[in-house]
Every structure is written in C-alpha cells, then in structure tokens.
C-alpha cells in the first residue's frame, strides 16, 4: 500500500470517528439540556455539556490535522500545522481536566452533601472552567516555543500536566476521608 493510500485511509477513518463522535456527543448535549430528562444539578449538566463540546473540538482538530498531513504530502507545504496542533492539544487537555472537575464535583456531592452548594456552585464552576481553558491554551502556546528547542521538555511537561497532576488530584480526594 502506498503512502498516499495510507493517508487516505487515515483521513477516512478520522472522518468516520468524527461523525460517530459528533453523534454521541450531540446526544449527550440533548439529554443534558432536555427538560424531560431526570433532574440533575445545573453544574452537572454544564460539566457534561462542556465535556461533550471539548471532545467534539478535539476530534475535529484531529481530523483537520490528518487532512493537513495529506495536503502537505500532496502540495508540499505546511498549512496550519502549529495552529491546529495547539487547538488539538488544548481541547484534549481541557477534556481531561473537565473529567477531573466532574469527578471532584461528584465526590463533593456524595461525600460532603452539606457543602455542595458552597463548593459546586455554578459561578465557581464557570470560573474554574474558564481558568482551565486559559491555562491550557497559554501552556500549549508556550510549550510550542519551548519544544522548538527540545522535544524532551514537551514530553515532560505534557506528562506532568496531562497524567501526573490529574491522577494526583483524583486520588488525593480519597485520602482525605
């Protein structure tokens, strides 16, 4: 199989993945925003809708990246590579950290029901999501500059931010019981 055919197959698989992801995440958004669904806290509905949108952004950026790779192979120059890569990494990290926030919110709801309104209010949640998005975007812009110098810096930074810290945050809540 030639290199062009491999990239064509990757683009087709990416398109299939994107369509399926959009279908599933759209259903999540419809269920979370429906007045007929089970009553849920406003914060939980917001978190699941934000997670669905972040996942759709990540899949879309991934697909655009694959198309750009094919385009670069055919035409011979980079199109929007750094721009798309930053948005892909930002949406992926935002999705990871949204899952961390969801798990923290569920933890507070189950183990500290008297403190839910204090720690899991809509205003605080929106502010924390905006802060996470901002920090993720700025961090990815900065790491793009640093990674031009050395790939190891990017690997270490991404490992700490996307794996180590979320695991520590998620597991530390069980040690405080």
The pLDDT tens digits of the residues spanning 3-28 come to 667 777 877 888 898 999 999 999 99
Domains and CATH numbers, the chain: 3-175 (1.20.1070.10)
Q: What is the per-residue pLDDT across 132-171, written as a single tens digit (0 to 9) for each?
A: 999 888 888 877 776 665 666 667 777 777 777 777 766 6
CB neighbours (10 Å) of residue 155?
11
Give the global pTM. 0.79
CB neighbours (10 Å) of residue 98?
22
Give the angle 109-41-30 at the CA atoms, nearest 5°.
130
Write down the pLDDT at residue 54: 94
């Amino acid at each position: 199989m030639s290199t062009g055919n491999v990239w064509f197959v990757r683009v087709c698989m990416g398109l299939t993945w994107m369509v399926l992801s959009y279908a599933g995440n759209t259903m999540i958004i419809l269920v979370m925003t429906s007045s007929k669904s089970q009553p849920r806290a406003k914060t939980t509905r917001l978190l699941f809708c934000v997670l669905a949108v972040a996942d759709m952004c990540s899949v879309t950026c991934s697909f655009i990246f694959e198309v750009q790779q094919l385009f670069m192979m055919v035409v011979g120059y980079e199109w929007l590579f750094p721009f798309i890569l930053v948005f892909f990494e930002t949406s992926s990290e935002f999705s990871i950290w949204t899952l961390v926030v969801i798990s923290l919110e569920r933890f507070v709801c189950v183990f500290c029901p008297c403190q839910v309104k204090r720690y899991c209010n809509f205003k605080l949640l929106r502010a924390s999501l905006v802060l996470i998005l901002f920090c993720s975007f700025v961090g990815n812009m900065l790491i793009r500059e640093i990674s031009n110098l050395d790939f190891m810096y990017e690997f270490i930074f991404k490992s700490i931010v996307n794996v180590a810290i979320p695991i520590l945050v998620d597991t530390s809540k069980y040690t405080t019981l």
